[in-house]
Amino acid sequence: MSRLDAQLAFLGEADRLKSVLRATSLHDRSRRENSAEHSWHVMLHALVLAEHAARPVDVSRVMTMLLLHDLVEIDAGDAPIHGGHDPAEQEAKEQAAADRLFGLLPVDQRDAMRFIWEEFEAAETDDAIFAKSIDRVQPVLSNLATDGGTWPEYNVTPEQLETRVGVKVARGAPAVWSGLRSRIDAWFSGRASLLHY
């Protein structure tokens, strides 16, 4: 098999990410979002919000991380943050998925892409911390745009949002989290006042 054959086989398999559905909806609520279009949208967030990174980042590495970050969901599925899944089991599934999917590529590309995906997952470098933070910003904005989106469904409280999402967003992009935090607080207090009538 030529390099091009292997590359085209990988790219064809990647098409399946368009059929992995996430918990969040489009802003117009017409349907649930898939992981491929989510990945595109998150990359756009990273480009536009890079100036708010806690520490200087290489935007092109951040974008490459986000381009690849959800590919493993083709085999492992999406594990919603408020869904209560087993993290060890999910991690094992994702490692097996990375073996299979990146393994379709020529060896040098397999290793380079696996390396940057592992860096993202480890969330230790400045680039990965910012990428992980932005990956959590996009669904918050989707929930805010759709009257709370999945929050009522999963009975999410502002305190849970702070622990599950806020801490990680603030670590990579503190100014973005304070902007989101005030929008989140406004949404929850609007809801609380409705519930009292």
Contact footprint for a copy of itself (CB under 8 A): 2-5, 7-8, 10-12, 14-19, 26-28, 30, 33-34, 36-37, 39-41, 43-45, 47-49, 51-52, 59-60, 63-64, 67-68, 105, 109, 138, 141-142, 145, 175-176, 179
Binding mask of the shown chain, residues 52 to 91, with x at each position contacting Ca ion by CB under 5 A:
------------------x---------------------
Residue 44 near residue 31, CB atoms below 8 Å:
no
- 69: nearest Cα among 48, 40, 90, 96: 40
Residue 23 near residue 78, CB atoms below 8 Å:
yes
Residue-wise burial string across 120-131, b where 16 or more C-beta atoms lie within 10 A, e elsewhere: bbeeebbbbbbb
94 binds Ca ion (CB under 5 A): no
H or E stretch at 24: strand 21-25
CB of residue 190 to Ca ion, shortest distance in Å: 28
Which amino acid makes up residue 189? S
CB under 5 to 8 A by kind: which of Ca ion, a copy of itself, none does 11 bind? a copy of itself
Residue of 33, 73, 127, 135 that binds Ca ion (CB under 5 A): 135
User: How far is 71 from 67, CA to CA, in rounded Å?
Assistant: 8
CB of residue 197 to Ca ion, shortest distance in Å: 37
Closer residue to Ca ion in complex, CB, 33/70? 70
Task: Say if strands 32-34 and 21-25 run parallel, antiparallel, or are unpaired.
Answer: antiparallel
CB of residue 152 to Ca ion, shortest distance in Å: 22
CB of residue 172 to a copy of itself, shortest distance in Å: 15
Closer residue to a copy of itself in complex, CB, 40/115? 40
Closer residue to a copy of itself in complex, CB, 9/89? 9
CB under 5 to 8 A by kind: which of Ca ion, a copy of itself, none does 63 bind? a copy of itself
CB of residue 36 to a copy of itself, shortest distance in Å: 4
- Local structure of 44: helix, strand or coil: helix
Residue 137 near residue 173, CB atoms below 8 Å:
yes
What DSSP state is assigned to residue 194? H
Q: Please name every residue paired with 32 in a beta bridge, in sequence order, or none if there are none.
A: 25
